[in-house]
Structure 1
């Protein structure tokens, strides 16, 4: 019995010593990782204990050889998915691998980006970090300087075949089964943490697409015009010019996509932490209207890009513009330029005045909202209409001034959108 008590006492003492050692380690880690006021910080859970730690100190701590060795082979749950950690002692390199991997951001819509696998490597020399980012056949380099208040990452994707970049999303893009894609993509980007501010400078070279069948779209007939004939508006018509001013001012300059507008939209959406701008060209919008639908997601944008690039080659600007005018939504059940002109102004699309054309074009950024506004108040967003008028080309200064006055004078019109009811403002 005495031997049993002695064994229990030794076990209890050993357990107490172990608990004290763990507590000491925890307190030591807390002291090392404790952030100063204003430092980049996060909360770490250690069992029932919550620790406020500095992220810079945590990264330094996690990339030291002894700690990294303890992490080797472990799987950590994260918001992107389970991340498997490995440590290469020879290269002093930490590798993080998730499979599958999910990335979310409100700046590009409600749907996340899903990758079959993604891998990140990290090497640290004092406060200098560098490594690689890879997924599939796409490989990028990154580097940055770690500071207590944050980390600025500089990311470089060298020229990479566009088809390799698209292959990352093969499960979600059915067109990849038959589309032929050529060209290269390169990206320079910076990511500011913890602000999560991403600045991107993409470059597409010689991108071509074939095999999607867009050459047949020139014969597509709109089924949403309430039985009215197609508008057959020319590119020089008032409504066509107003639509270009409202939706795609570089329509005649791009090859189906506008990288500058995409970049500006990304930055604007990040600043507002919401998807406020889509940056779709008229060519991409035609693809949305005829094929991809309106889901807000990066994958939909990638699908639209394929169709837009091909139709620029197979249809040309004039037929793309005509397709858009014949299929564009103008709120409620109104679809197509002819139906819009008939519904809102009681006339054919080719009879619209400049002010009426601008008024209709200004609705296109949010047709449902503007139709509701028109029905309730008999007017739409006047500032938006003036912005469209300012971009209308060609138009002499005197005519533009008269146009702006006409828009202001239009004021509320007789509302009552329903069925084939017309809102007459001749």
Structure 2
């Protein structure tokens, strides 16, 4: 009797295992990526296998299969996605809590949203739906939008529109833990249209910002701030060094409100091509905020903090004071900072008496001061293409002055100070 029972139990176990293996093989075969199809690894319990993403998306959004996903979840590189089938509306709802995505163009840390809810309906290879992003349980801080996509064997082309919403709400959703949000009074609205291609994660955005203002961060105290870099250069806006610095670092300095959307979008595009953050897109005002307040971490959170301070600085300090503070605190290689200290160390003269070519030389160092200083010591010069570009970008001078400046910059040879003199 015992042998018979044992035989039956083993038989049932074998049958169950066979059924599970059969189901696994069927699923694996059904979802296996076709040649050249976009694929991704999936983990189901102890099992790992590759699935074709377009095939899986068609299956997950089909009316006969989508209801079977109701209540189930899937671990992805963005977070755990939970499925909910809405029978009456005939659509699939996906929840990701929290949800994050790595965007090298925006920094080394992923962008994280506490709760992202999206709906999807498919008609052939066309996908449409809505999405809502909230910081945890705070429904009043919701960002809402619509999206549509075109599914192809190798990728998914998405376009999305986020409705016009208060900028304060954007901050609450994207960086809810930012300490400045406790005291900053943020005004203005932001609407965004965006295009995203997966799995490449390349994207473009078209933001529309209106009436962006910030109060409450205390930047007005910087009106009387003193630099720790040494004596102030006290340069006029039309001095050669001030003009050269603006040409090198922020050519729209006198027209923007602390941030430069054109430059930000250009930097995002450039960084996507490079696959990492190589171009910052920061204005002089944002760079000043980085020098005095936020530090230099390459994260989206730091950039958003930086923008808050920059916008308020424009309102409390004005252009002349911002430019003066930047010149008095900017790094110029090693432990050296401040225009006056740099001019005296490198050219043995005051910043106010620099020759035009010397001013261009100093301005050309600012994008990578330490690396440029090392190049200067090693090669006896700095990048001639950059110094030429800076000289050619200086504004407010005559044609004859520009020609003379370009000639003097091309012929310039300066002796770099020894490392032990820093």
TM exceeding 0.5: yes
CA apart distance, 1:134:
1.9
CA contact (8 A) 1:96 1:120 kept: yes
CA contact (8 A) 1:377 1:412 kept: no
Query: For 1:128-139, what aligned pairs fall within 5 Å after superposition?
Result: 128-136=126-134, 137-139=142-144
Which of 152, 157, 178 is the equivalent residue of 1:152? 157
CA apart distance, 1:373:
1.9
- Find the counterpart in structure 2 of residue 127 from structure 1: 125
CA contact (8 A) 1:81 1:100 kept: yes
CA contact (8 A) 2:70 2:85 kept: yes
1:164 aligns with 2:166: no
Instruction: Measure, in 1, the Cα distance between the counterparts of 2:420 and 2:359.
Output: 21
CA apart distance, 1:39:
1.9
Instruction: Measure, in 2, the Cα distance between the counterparts of 1:256 and 1:99.
Output: 34
Query: For 1:267-416, what aligned pairs fall within 5 Å after superposition?
Result: 267-411=269-413, 413-416=415-418
Query: For 1:132-211, what aligned pairs fall within 5 Å after superposition?
Result: 132-136=130-134, 137-211=142-216
CA apart distance, 1:407:
2.0
Q: 1:131 to 1:299 in 2, by over 3 A?
A: same
- Find the counterpart in structure 2 of residue 424 from structure 1: none
Instruction: Measure, in 2, the Cα distance between the counterparts of 1:349 and 1:417.
Output: 21
Which of 105, 108, 113 is the equivalent residue of 1:107? 105
Instruction: Measure, in 2, the Cα distance between the counterparts of 1:350 and 1:73.
Output: 70
CA apart distance, 1:8:
4.2
Q: 1:370 to 1:138 in 2, by over 3 A?
A: same
CA contact (8 A) 1:65 1:89 kept: no
Q: Provide the aligned length of Structure 1 versus Structure 2.
A: 415
Q: 1:128 to 1:417 in 2, by over 3 A?
A: same
Instruction: Measure, in 2, the Cα distance between the counterparts of 1:98 and 1:148.
Output: 25
What SS does structure 2 have at the residue aligned with 1:168?
Answer: helix
1:222 aligns with 2:227: yes
What SS does structure 1 have at the residue aligned with 2:36?
Answer: coil
1:41 aligns with 2:39: yes
What SS does structure 1 have at the residue aligned with 2:411?
Answer: helix
CA apart distance, 1:282:
0.7
RMSD: 2.1
Q: Under a length normalisation based on structure 2, what TM-score does the superposition of the two structures give?
A: 0.92
1:249 aligns with 2:255: no
CA apart distance, 1:35:
2.8
1:87 aligns with 2:82: no
Instruction: Measure, in 1, the Cα distance between the counterparts of 2:317 and 2:298.
Output: 26
What SS does structure 2 have at the residue aligned with 1:133?
Answer: strand
| 1:4-40 deviation line (CA, Å, top 9, x unaligned) | 5554444444444444443443333334333332222
- Name stretches of at least 5 consecutive residues in structure 1 with no aligned partner: 421-426
What SS does structure 1 have at the residue aligned with 2:381?
Answer: coil
Instruction: Measure, in 2, the Cα distance between the counterparts of 1:120 and 1:43.
Output: 22
Instruction: Measure, in 1, the Cα distance between the counterparts of 2:227 and 2:127.
Output: 55
Instruction: Measure, in 2, the Cα distance between the counterparts of 1:369 and 1:414.
Output: 13
CA apart distance, 1:62:
2.1
CA apart distance, 1:152:
0.4
| 1:294-326 deviation line (CA, Å, top 9, x unaligned) | 111111111111111112122211111111111
| 1:127-149 deviation line (CA, Å, top 9, x unaligned) | 22122232221112111121212
Instruction: Measure, in 2, the Cα distance between the counterparts of 1:94 and 1:374.
Output: 60
Instruction: Measure, in 2, the Cα distance between the counterparts of 1:26 and 1:412.
Output: 71
Q: 1:172 to 1:417 in 2, by over 3 A?
A: farther
Q: Under a length normalisation based on structure 1, what TM-score does the superposition of the two structures give?
A: 0.91
CA contact (8 A) 1:152 1:190 kept: yes
